[in-house]
Structure formats: structure tokens, C-alpha cells
Structure 1
């Protein structure tokens, strides 16, 4: 699908670019043209090398946020580049059914508009209602993706609950079950009393909350022992007190029993190495049915599991607290203990980490519950080995440690959820207790059998995403061509939950073949102050707002320019506006080139000017650097390099150097047109993956070809490297920059021409550029009555050469106004010098100030002294009359 510009039919470039770039007029039509042309639809039967990415499926519940926009920008850049390099590229889109989140949304809508609960509708009718909501609401994400320019293959779009993926879920569940890797057991899980379902770890958000730490005395006299808890109500379910085996303070108590207050029960004092003897009193209450660590202790010591709360977190223990909500029971229990003389200490407020349901913000309750689990030990070892042996590479490499910390210490995964929306667990029970797991091609058992009411964790189906979306369990052409996928681009925050689970399932289902070759991790998008975005802070941003205001390319460029591997990045509207200005700069430069006959198809002549050789050398150096950085997923660096090359070197320098050549006409003008076309052609192509819309509009106008989407990726030509030309133009730039600064210091307007004498250009190797330099800095040759009033010397050239510039400003400036300006600046510089000199002369300041602060003060003093010297010289050079 790629095309080589040099082998195309005669070009028909356009010179009819509008004077101003208006993204809203360009982006939508261009995107639809790309989709209709089939640029993003790969052929799985082709012999091109494959390159594939499956999109991290956004939840169907909402819209894309800035984190999604970053994800999509980076994936789009990778796939657009590979497509231009001649790969058969598949970027597969889709969405996740997001079980608990979607069910919550629909339940709220049902209550709000109809005053009903899901139980009023019944399971079947409620699930139908969720499907209807999904069809109505899912299009928001699709629209945002199109606005962003996502080059995805819409014909292959998948949904985690469509027919094919549901079949994949049943298939792998059956295989894991038959292999003994899925089991049902009572374990402590995260439980949301409001949603009334188990939660995965990623659905629990921890925050530092104010609570209380209550120290309670169990027993009396010499046998008394003190424990502390933030959840006093759970003591009703205590079945032991634990101490460390080596803690001599309690050695005499181990093996004895102590009375549990308020319950008329006696519980044992046991020794377990899990207890930290240095924390608190060194003794802990053990509530196996309501704490994961206590459950493990209970399993080791054969303790009973006493459940004292139901699924709504209401107390079920008989006695005065029965029927109270946990937060009502807590103060009631503390009051009863206080009345009984059992409270040793109370600490309020006591700040500690508390888990909240990420969907409804309810405090999560650890709860003993009968659930389905995946046995992960062997699967997790394979997932770790795949990274260790190099089948999967993690970028940046330093984040591999986080991955190993997770997979090497993974606990069995609770996969069942007490919801109605999701993949129903394919297990059936007979009236006499027989259990049967049913695969996708098997008929359910008889009518008297009942199916398990639970559904699977959303992460179960999304864990199959890299291969279920390609047609697994069938042997499809897509699966053969595009699996393993090439790269997974995602945030480091879900490396534990999604990345690891895709590794577990991919290696298991695909006979040891990894789900992706590379995991490219980026950070979170924060606000311009580095704060995490949240609705409560009021600093969230709808990407559409910035795209509406500045264009999709501007948003993409801003996001890519901040995307250092594995690091969080700040974002702000000002930076998007700056990226918009960059797009405008490209537009204006290309429009100038077109109006001046730039020819992207012309052969470059062998005889080139130093400026031509310089820009070609810089271009091909940049192309090599960008290629290297793409392979290392260094998006911020490659984007920054392209920004400065395009803005500083092409637009600000080469275009300016080209103007006199173009105006002069002749053979050199033709050469300049060819070089300008060559450079812009390749610059627009290499910028295309990050800024697809503006580059498409400009490149097709410049070249007359079909689309930059299918153009060939520009390759670096090492033979264009020209250190001599680079050194020569850098010397010219130094002279021009210093003279412009000198003119500004003299109060000359940028467009004002003055007579000047230039000495030393020959020794600096710039004699051939005398006319060009004068043109760039608005200096006329000196006349017969030339009387220099100011001068500047410019050094730094080879062989200690120096360029001296003297100007005659008589009659060109308001001497009185200039004197007042310089005297004002001189007074400010004298004040700055005095302040900093005073600090450095103060022994107390020097003794207390950090070294870095002292260094800054010295730098400010040196700058002030330099300003004084310069300003005094300028004042002295002013005419006296």
C-alpha cells in the first residue's frame, strides 16, 4: 500500500493553500476519506511483514479522557509509521463491557427515570436493557476516536461480549477448569456492600482516611493482653489473639485462652510469624472471616471462621448489635467496651489507608465468600519467564521490576462477580449437587439443572483480548498473521492487572506464544501543576474541548511531546495552543514554498550551496535520530527534535536563507526550489504519524500524490552528512544572531536599515555570505559619510577569528529617548548588582544558604556586572548633541 514518490506519474502539486489553517474544515473530511479508501484495513493474506496492535478497550460506560487520548496518539503514531515502512498493519479497535461500571450506570438510570431496581425487571429483562443502553451510548467513544484521527480498522472492531469473544471466554474457562486451574472455594475477597459484589484489586481505590485506633484489653490480670484495631465491630468475630513466636513478653500466654469481651466466648492465644512484634503491643486480634491476613493465620492454625456481617455490611452476630450497619455498630461496640472497662487507649483521628469501591466510593469490606478462582502459580511463572527470557520486552526496562514484583508474588485470582451484566460462569449444578462445566460447543444439561448465577470479572474477558479479537479459538488467517501482536501501549498503572493477566492467558492458550512482543508503558496525564486529574479537584479536561479549540493535531502533538517512557506528564491548554502555533508555522512555510515553486519531485543537483548542504545534512541526521527514538519508544524526545528542526532550522533559518536565492532567480533558485521541496516532503512525512491531518493537507498539496498515509517512510541518507557545511552555517547563524541582539540593544527596529561595516568575515570563513548576512540583519554598505556610533565584536570562530560590526545610527534613533531607556536599564542593573553583592558579602547568608542558592546569586551578580558594562558602553556611544 506504500508508494515511492520518485516512481510516481508526473506530480500535480497545488499552490492553492488558504492563507490560514483551519483544522475544523480539514480534519473531518480527511479522516472519512482515509477510511473509505481502506488505508487502515489490512490484508491478512499479504506477504508483507505484519505489525499489529490491539487497542486497550475503553469501557463502554463513558468517554475518552486525556489518558486515552495519549494512549491512542502513541498507538496511532506507531502504526502509521509502520504502514509507511511497508508493513501489513492492523490496529484493532474495540470496547470493554465493563461489568460493574456499566451495571451501575444502568441501575442509576433505571432508578432515576422509572423508580425501579434491576430486581423489579428480573435478570433477563435487565440484561436486555443494558444491551440497549450500550447500543445508544457506545457511539460516543467511536466519535472521539475518529476526531482524534485513530487509524484503526473499523471492520474488525470487537466488543468483549460479542458472539466471538463470548465463545472464546467459554472455551478458555472450560480448558482451565478441566486442567484444574479454576476452582471454587471460600476465601477473603474485596466486597462492596453497595454494589453487593466481589471486586478485583483494580476496582479498589485506596485513600488516607481519618478513623480511630482503639486499644482493647482481652482478659484480666496476668493473663490480660491488649490488641488494637481500626474496625472495632469485627472483634465480634475474633477467634484468636496472635503473637510472634519469639516475643518473650507473651511466651507464657501462648497455648492459653482469654475471654473475648462482649461475647461470652473464650479464644486461644497462638504464635504466628506473620505478627510484627515491634508494631503496637505486638499482639493482634485474629478475625479470619473479615481480614485476608487473619484468614491465612486461621488456615494455618485451624481456627473457625465466624462471619458477623452480611452482604450489606449489617451485623448478623446475635446480641445487642444485631441489625446495625457496620458504621453504626462501630461506636456502639466501642461504647460497650468502654462501659465494661476494656478500652485501654483511643486515638482519634487516626489516619490510615482505606479501600473504596472505584465505582461508588463505598468503603470496601474484606469478606469471606464462596467464589471462583484461577490458580495462578504455574501461569504466573510462565508470565515471568516470558519477560526474563526476552520473548517480551518491557519499555522502559526499569519498570520490569514492578512486573516481576507482581507476577512473582501473585495470589489466586477471584474471577466471579455477583452481577447480571457480564459473561455468565458456564457451570451448572444438578439437584443432587453434581457440578458440570459446559464448553461453547456443548449443550447445557437438563432442565432441572441450574446455572451458576455469577458472572466473570471483566478482566477475565479482557485478558483474552490479544487473541480472542483475532478469532481464537478458531485457526483464523488474522490469528496466523497478526499474533503475537507487536506492541502493547498502555499506562504503567495497569501493568499488574491487565498486562499480567493477558500474559497469563496468552501463554496458556497459545502454546507458549506471548500475546505481544513489547510492552511500552507511559505515565499518567496530569494538570499543568503536576496534580492528578479528578472531578473533585475540578481539573479534568474533555479532549474534545481542546480539539474543538485548537485542532486534533495540536492535542496529539502536545501529548506526544510530553510522553517520556514510564513517566507522568503535565498538560495545559497553553501547551496545546503552542502546538497549534507549530501547525500554523508548518502551514505558512509550506504555503511559502508552494508560492515560490518548490518542487518535491526534482532531482537534487550535485552542485549545492552551503545552506543547501547544511539543511540536507541536518534533515538526514534528524531522520536517523527519529528512527532510533521510535524503536526505543522515546516519543517526547523524537517529537521535540522534530519540533526544533521544523521551527528553528527549516522555518526560521532555511526559509530565510532561501528567500534571497529565490528572489535572484536563475539556476541557484531552481536548486533552492528542489532542496526546499525535498526537505518539506520528508519533514511532512516524518511528522505525519504524530500530526496526521495538517501533514496530509500540506503533503498532498506539495507533491500532488494520493495520500501521505500510504507514502514511503523517509530514510536517512548517511552520504548527506556534511560537517563542513554545518560548521559554516552555524558560524553564519552566530553572526546573524549576535548582530540582531546588538541591533536590539541599540534600540533599532527590526525592519530599520542602517549603514554598517563588517570586518573579519574572510578570516571567519564567511566572506561568500557577506551579501546574505547584510540582507538578514538589515545592514547597508557604509557610505562616504559613514560615522560609526556603536560596534560589537563576535568571537568563537575557528582559529580565534573575530568578526567586527560597526554601525552608524545617526539620524536613525531618538537619542534623548534612547538615553532615558538606557539610563533606566542601567539603574536596574546597578540595583541588581548591589543586592547580590550584598548577599555574597553577608557571612550569615553564606553560612546558611544551600550551595545551589549561592551559585545562583553569583550568577546573577555576574550577569548584572555584564549588563552594566554593556549599558555604559552604549550610553557612551550615543551622540552628545
Structure 2
């Protein structure tokens, strides 16, 4: 750690914490001092994280804020522990989303991308990216991200584009990339193929119609929600063991409205228990039908174009698919072909995640990655422990995906993105061009028009950002990365692709040692946040209202691995109160001389109170370390919260006041302990709440910055169990006296005369002054008379507290107040009994409602007993 300022030169804290006045300047100071810049030549142990690249056109949402808080906490702690930390930031070009945004902008000017042409349109996207694309990077500064800004990357930078071309060429040469006609997800509005991650599924209302194909005994009934696609049917399929249709297998049936005859085939894919047990087969417009068609050599007839318009010659030609659907049903009904209609019929429908258009399964010539060997390698890396998934139970989801992964379509019919590095010749030649090769030239040669799926380039992110394919110093030093933190919802799509590509490109070395999967942010009612619901929360609003530290603490305190978080604004308000509590506690400690410049005395020269808080501090350090290692952010936040608020603020500071008031060596030792505990606590909390802890710690210690301060370790001292037992007794005694005073109507600050008697008081002989100070008990005078008594059971025996409340309590007013409270409790009991004694209620009400009434009844009984006891204890005079 750097030299510290003398105590006299350290700035004073302002009266209150005002985050808006501090955070921006403080963050810039960290950046200017290069605290976050990684040195690959350092001999420190490496720790590396690559930021999941947000979309270039994105903005910060609560999911980002949570994940960035997680990554920053991990990075800051390791940096304090002496690691060489690289947290590498960057952005994704987000092909479809960004192209759509620019096209919308053009549409506002009455233009389309085709009006500009490909080259000018791509230039326009780059201009747009420069203008608005970095918004989220500025927001990352608001969160306090300790990223290495000198190494910021973009998926379409020159270096990353080189990596993409290298990977494509390598996969192509190894036979792992091929071009074929397959069924893909197609967006008729975006006019491109989509990956599975770009399709959102929802339960939509539709219509299920049952249609009779053929005539008489040889007819067969099929059901469909997309009647317009029947025009492209090339077979009907049944299960080979379905006795109902065995006689029809191998025969043909006439397809209504077309006059075509199609075969009836037997296929194991058909579920005989679903519907009629017979399915229409449309190989060009359904993935399962395509597989059936492949197995049986069926033709694939495309009946919808890229805009979702019917192309079959006849009365339906030129109709949009949603116009054609009722028209086809009407025509079938007119012919008496409709056997049944179910409306509304709820079924799962895929929508384009970018524009919400219903996607269309469509046979298309696309580029594909053969994933089987890559997916197996990814599964093996998790199974043999090279990559550990946190929480471990989510590994099953990973295996379920990679063990049954289908080939991945990687071509997109867009202009913004990495163009596929394949050239076609005039005589059918196909040439894949690597980064060091010249594309073929001459008449008839042209490059493939498509670009690569965004997930292709982002799948290279852990190593392309470190300089691959060149074996850079950064790549050698920081790969594999230490941990990937992301939401469990993209485990299958992004994480799996990075695993596949990383193991393939880096000689079977995994891209990360650990994968931490956090849950999704939901609203207070557990609903998924979305713009359409209007229940989203802008994290910047919370940062403005409550401060960044409170926002981060709120998110991390709710972050249980793999579990969703229901978020409510009162949480943020509570976290702000916690930050304020810490601020005021530090001001109090500094105001009473707390210092790290005073040497901490030997333990035998400390009081029970001092040894107790230091032992709790050691335990907290160990707990926080353990929770960090296990990615248990909610538990580590709770550990810090309860130590700081419950133990340090509510107890130790109050007890310290008494010890400081005694003066002399005891006061000096207390100031040392106050300062030492604050120093450690602020270090522990810094990764979670960096701004307020930096401000408090530099004021307390005069140190340069918590960013480069040492991470605390337990002292190694043997816990003083005797001191702990005595403080436990003191706490219980004080708590019971305070409760008794409250029950008797005494004001919190009102002093009364009293004595504590009992054989076990010898154990508390050193704490008498503390008990009196914390319970407002005065030494009895000559006119002392016992008016009330309280017995408290302590671990070493019972004590009796005798109080003189004469003149302190308005007995008439107190009895009146208690009588009123008793009436309220008795009314509550009567209402509960009335419901529970009514069979109409207990028999029909949900079990949880009945249970709540029973719980209310039990609480009312306890309250009646408590109030009655208080009334009975009041003096009669």
C-alpha cells in the first residue's frame, strides 16, 4: 500500500453522503491512475474476465446492472488480493438488432437500405454506431465497472474480424462447415434466417382444424394450426405400429384443393396417441416434416415466399399467410373436408425477438456448422471438471443441450455483419478464402451475399479479444479466463458456443475455468420485466435516487446462484439506509478518535467487548471469503449487513462510548479497535459498494485508494469464548430491560433508578457501566423504592432487575392505553374464531388462507397474554 497521510492532514467527512457529487469524479480518478489496466508482464497470478458484450445499440437494464455488479465485485476483490486482473470490455455488433435500428431511421426519411445499396448502407451503420452505439459503455462507468478501457473491443474491429475469417476457414477446411438446404427459422419482416436464441416463444390463440384427406374407408384425418401449408403437403404419416392405419401404409390419398395424390408413410416420429394419430407432412415448412421427408425420399414443395406470401398457382396465390389461412379453411369447408374446428386453440408460436413477427419454418439454402464433435468436447470439459458450472445443478441443463445439439445455421440474409468469406465461380466453383489469401478474380466470380450469425463472432470472444489467432502475450497470460458471469437464459446459446469454439481453436483448452449463472430480474410480483408490461426498472433511475452503491448492494443481496430475483424499490431504499448507517457510524467513530495510527493492543489488554467484536470480525472475514469463492453474493451481503448494522453499529459503537468515556488506556485501546474494525469492514465491502467505501476509507486511513489496498485476512487469534458468553449475557440483559421499559410506557431516553441483583452478576462486573448506560438506569438515591421487578434468565443464571418508576409513568394514562390495546387484540381473536368455527369457511377456503387465519389467531392470543401481564404488573396506586 502507498504512504498514508498524517491524521491531521486527512479531510473531514461532509455531514451526509451525496453520491451524485462524488461518484463520477471518483471513477475518473481510478481510470486516470490506471488502476484497472492489466499488465501481462506482471508476475502476479492472473485473474481474467471477459465482459459479455452488450449490443452496440443497447442500453443498461437491470440484468446488465446485476451482472456488471457481480463481475466488478469479483474483479475488485482479486485485485486487492494481489492478482493481475484483466476485465476486458467491449460490444457486439448485434447484426439484426442494429440493422433494424438503422433501417427504421432510414424509413423515417422515406428510404430503404436498397435505396442506398450495400456499401453505402454499411457505411451508414458505422456512422450510426459512432453516434449512438457507445451509450452503454458510459453507463458502465456509472455502475463503477473496473474494466481495462485500454483493451476495449468490438466484434467488427479489424482484429476480431480477422479471427472470424480464420475460424470460418479452419472449420471449413476441417469439414465442419457446409452449405445445405434445411429448415430454418425465417423472419418474413427482417427477411433473414434466425438462430434459436433470436426466437421468442409464447402461447398464442389460434385454430386447430381437422381435415379429411381422401374418400370413404381409405380416407384419413389430419389436424393442423397452419391450414395454408397443406398446399405443400407431400405425404401423410402414421406410426408403423398403429393398427388403425396399417392397411393404408403404402397407398396414396388425394390432397384436397390440389388434385395431387400423396403417399401414406409409416414413421416412428408420429405419436399415435396425439390427435388422430395421423399427421400431414410438409417438408419445406416444418423441421420435423423435413426429417420425415428425408427418411422417405419425399419432395419438398415451397408454397410460401420470404415475405410469407403464398406462391401456389390458383385462387390463393398472392395472399399473405394469415389471409390465406381462413381462405383455405373456407374452401375446405365448402367441399365438406373440415371434420372439426377448435377455436380458440392455445399453442406455442415462435416470434422474432427483434420485431415480434411470427417466424416461419422455411426450407432454405444456408451455411451450417456441424456441431456434434464440437458439442461433445464442450460437454466433456464440464464433465471432467475443466470448467465448473455454478450452481452445479445447472450443469444438467448444459448437458441436455450439448448432448442433443442440432447443426447450427450461421448464415444471415443481412448486410451488417461479417460477410461469409466464400466466393463462387462461373462454373460452380466454391472457394473459401482465409485471412492471408487473395479472393479469386475474373468474370463470374462473386462473394456470398450473406453475413454470419452474430453468435459466431461472439462465440470467439474469450480468445479473439486477447489477440487470437496470434499467440499474443495477453492470450498466453490470461487464457483460459478465470470466470464467465452471465444469466442462465443464454447458457445454451452463447456459453455453449464459446465452449465449442474455444476448445476447438485453443487445442482443447477451455475458454473459462468457471461459469457463474445468475437468475433473471423480475418485478416485485415475480413477473418478467418487459416494455410491454411497463414493469421494467431503469437502473440509472435507482442510481440517481439511491446512489450506485445502494443499487449494487440491492442487486447483489438478492443474487442467489441460478435463482430469479423479484425486485422491489423498497429494497433499494433499505440499501440506501444501510449506506447511510455506515456513513454515520464512520463519522461517529472518527469524531471519537477512531484511528488506524494507534497500534492495536495485545488481546490480553483488551476488554471483553473489544475481543468480542474482533472475533466477530474474524468470523465475518472468513464468511465473506467463503461466499465469494462459492459465488454466494446474497449470503456475503447478508453477512456484511448484519455485522455492520447489528453488531458494529447497534452494539459495539454504543459500548465503545462507555469505554471512551472512561478515558485513559481503555479509551485509547477502544479508538484503536474502532479504527481497525472500520478499516477491515470497508475493505470487505469495497467490491460491493466501491464509492462510499473509498470515500470513508481514504478519510479514515489517509491511504491512496481501496482499489489497490490489501484484502483483509483473519487475524488467526483464538476466539475468546468466555468474552463472547459475557457479551451475549449483556446483550440479553440490555434487550430485556429495554423491552420491559417499553412495555411499561417509559420513553427511550427517560432515566429511572434501578439495581441488578443475582449470583451471576459477578460475570458482568466489568459491564455494569455499559448496562446502565444502554438501559438508562441511574444509581438509586435515598428515596429509592422498588415499584417494578423483572427477572431475566442468562446463560450463567437468573438476574433480577428492580426499578423505581414512581413518578416516571402516568399510571392512569398507561392503564387506559393498555386497555384499549387489549380490546383490539380481543376483537382480532373473536374475528379469527368466528371464521375458524364456521365450516363453510374452513371447508371451502384455500388451505393457505385457513393457515393464515390460524396464525393470526395465535398471534392475537400471545398479544392478549402480553398486555394482560403488563396491566397486572402496574402498581395499583
The TM-score bracket by the shorter chain reads over 0.9
CA-to-aligned-CA distance 1:147-189 (integer Å, 9 cap, x gap):
1100000000000000000000000000000000000000000
What is the distance in 1 between the residues matched to 2:499 and 2:650? 49
Cα offset for 1:880? 4.1
For 1:577, the equivalent position in structure 2 comes to: 573
- Contact 1:192–1:365 at 8 Å: present in 2 too? yes
Q: Determine the structure 1 residue equivalent to 2:489.
A: 493
Deviation at 1:34, TM superposition (A): 0.2
5+ residue gaps, structure 1 = none
Deviation at 1:731, TM superposition (A): 1.3
Q: CA deviation at 1:771?
A: 1.6
Identify the residue that residue 811 of structure 1 maps to in structure 2.
Answer: 807
* Structure 2 counterpart SS, 1:90: strand
Question: Please, which moves more after superposition, 64-73 or 601-610?
Answer: 601-610
Paired residue for 1:341? 336
1:783 matched to 2:781? yes
Partner Cα distance (2:362, 2:24) in 1: 51
- Give the equivalent residue in structure 1 for 2:272: 277
SS of the residue 2:760 aligns to: coil
- For each residue in 1:808-849, what CA deviation from the matched residue of structure 2 results, as whole angstroms up to 9, or x when unmatched? 222223332212111011112323344455666667877778
Per the alignment, do residues 866 and 319 of structure 1 end up closer, same or farther by CA in structure 2, a change over 3 Å counting?
Answer: closer
Q: Secondary structure at the match of 2:285?
A: coil
* 1:607-646 to 2 correspondences below 5 Å: 607-646=605-644
Query: 2:749 touches 2:776 (CA, 8 Å); kept in 1?
Result: yes
Pairs within 5 Å for 1:29-428: 29-112=25-108, 114-428=109-423
Equivalent in the alignment of 2:705: 707
Deviation per CA, 1:121-155: give whole Å up to 9, x if none. 00000000000000111221111000110000000
Give per-residue Cα distances to partners, 1:644-699, cap 9 Å, x unaligned: 11111111111111011112211001000110111000000000000000000000
Partner residue of 2:658 out of 654, 657, 660: 660
Q: Kindly state the Cα deviation for residue 786 of structure 1 after the two structures are TM-superposed.
A: 2.1
- C-alpha contact 1:15 1:594 (8 A) present in aligned 2: no
Distance in 2 of aligned mates of 1:840 and 1:320: 68
Mapped partners of 1:652, 1:752: distance in 2: 19
Moved more, 764-773 or 726-735: 764-773
The match for 1:798 is 795
Identify the range of structure 1 (245-254 vs 779-788) with the bigger mean alpha-carbon deviation. Answer: 779-788
1:445 paired to 2:443: no
Contact 2:481 2:513 in 1 (8 A): yes
**Would the alpha carbon gap of residues 377 and 525 (structure 1) be closer, same or farther in structure 2, given more than 3 Å must change?**
same
Q: 1:724 to 1:504 in 2, by over 3 A?
A: same
How much has 1:558 moved relative to structure 2?
0.2
* Secondary structure in 2 matching 1:486: strand
Whether the 8 Å contact between 1:620 and 1:720 is mirrored in structure 2 is no
CA positional deviation for 1:856: 5.9
Note closer, same or farther for the CA distance 1:648–1:867 as it changes in structure 2 (3 Å cut).
Answer: same
Distance of aligned partners of 1:365 and 1:857 in 2 relative to their CA distance in 1, 3 Å threshold: closer
Cα distance in 2, alignment partners of residues 308 and 727 from structure 1: 82
Q: Which residue does the alignment assign to 1:740?
A: 738
CA deviation string 1:582-603 (max 9, x = no partner): 1111111111111111111332
**For residue 647 of structure 1, what is the aligned residue in structure 2?**
645
- Does the CA contact (< 8 Å) of 2:183 and 2:361 recur in 1? yes
Please say if residues 542 and 572 of structure 2, whose CA atoms lie closer than 8 Å, have aligned partners that are also in contact.
yes
Once the 2 structures are TM-superposed, how far is the Cα of residue 850 of structure 1 from its aligned partner? Answer: 7.9
CA shift at 1:246, angstroms? Answer: 0.4
Distance in structure 2 (CA, Å) of the matches to 1:84 and 1:412:
44
Paired residue for 2:582? Answer: 586
Q: Give the secondary structure class of the aligned counterpart of 1:718.
A: coil
**Hey, what's the Cα distance between the residues in 1 that align with 2:405 and 2:175?**
18
**Partners of 1:775 and 1:717 in 2: how far apart?**
31
Structure 1, residues 562-600: CA drift from partner, whole Å, max 9, x if none? 000000001122111111111111111111111111111
Give the total of aligned pairs.
Answer: 874
Whether the 8 Å CA contact 1:12–1:705 is kept in 2: the answer is no
1: CA distance, partners of 2:199 / 2:127: 28
Q: Is the 8 A contact 1:13 1:702 kept in 2?
A: no
Query: C-alpha distance in 2, partners of 1:12/1:371?
Result: 72
Match of 1:674 in 2: 672
Evaluate the alpha carbon distance shift between residue 36 and residue 295 of structure 1 in structure 2; reply closer, same or farther with a 3 A threshold.
Answer: same
1:514 shift after superposition: 0.2
Flag the 1:147–1:720 CA change in 2: closer, same or farther, 3 A: farther
Q: Secondary structure at the residue paired with 1:424?
A: coil
Match for residue 771 of structure 1 among 764, 769, 772: 769
Local SS of the residue matching 2:763: coil
CA contact (8 A) 2:729 2:795 kept: no
* Distance in 2 separating the partners of 1:184 and 1:684: 58
**2:683 and 2:693 in contact (8 A); partners too:** yes
Match of 1:484 in 2: 480
SS of 1:250's equivalent?
coil
Specify which of 553, 573, 579 is matched with residue 549 of structure 2.
Answer: 553
Residue by residue over 1:683-732, the C-alpha shift from the partner in whole angstroms, topping out at 9 and shown as x without a partner, is 00000000000000000000001000000000112315222222211111
Q: Identify if the C-alpha distance between structure 1 residues 764 and 58 changes in structure 2 by more than 3 Å, giving closer, same or farther.
A: farther
Contact 2:488 2:562 in 1 (8 A): yes
Q: How does 1:598-613 map to 2 (within 5 A)?
A: 598-606=594-602, 607-613=605-611
Q: Which 10-residue stretch deviates more, 20-29 or 776-785?
A: 776-785
**TM, length-normalised to structure 1:** 0.97
Q: Secondary structure at the match of 1:242?
A: strand
Secondary structure in 2 matching 1:772:
helix
In 2, Cα distance between equivalents of 1:876 and 1:450: 99
Counterpart CA distance in 1 for 2:25 and 2:687 is 18
Give the gaps of 5 or more residues in structure 2. none
Deviates more, 1:756-765 or 1:832-841: 832-841
User: For 2:717, what is the secondary structure of its paired residue?
Assistant: helix
Judged with a 3 Å threshold, the aligned counterparts in structure 2 of structure 1 residues 741 and 348 are, in CA distance, closer, same or farther, namely same
Contact 1:601 1:678 in 2 (8 A): no
More displaced 10-residue stretch of structure 1: 174-183 or 852-861 = 852-861
Deviation string for 1:45-67 (max 9, x for gaps)? Answer: 11110000000000011201000
Whole-Å separation in 2 of the counterparts to 1:489 and 1:829: 51
Provide Cα deviations, 1:394-436, integer angstroms capped at 9, x if missing partner. Answer: 0000000000000000000000000000000000011111010
Q: Give the distance between the partners of 1:579 and 1:862, measured in 2 at CA.
A: 33
Equivalents in 2 of 1:665, 1:401: separation in Å?
62
Aligned 8 A contact 1:761 1:767 in 2? no
> Once the 2 structures are TM-superposed, how far is the Cα of residue 855 of structure 1 from its aligned partner?
6.7
Q: Give TM-score, length-normalised by structure 2.
A: 0.97
Q: CA RMSD in A?
A: 1.7
Cα distance 1:314–1:166, how it changes in 2: closer, same or farther (>3 A)?
A: same
Relative to 1, partners in 2 of residues 1:84 and 1:507: Cα closer, same or farther, differing over 3 Å?
Answer: same
The question of whether the paired residues in 2 share the 8 Å contact of 1:13 and 1:701 is answered with: no
Closer, same or farther in 2 for the Cα pair 1:756/1:841, shift >3 Å?
Answer: farther
The answer to whether the aligner puts 1:762 opposite 2:760 as a matched pair is: yes
- Quote how far apart the aligned CAs of 1:769 are: 1.2
8 Å contact kept, 2:5–2:702: no
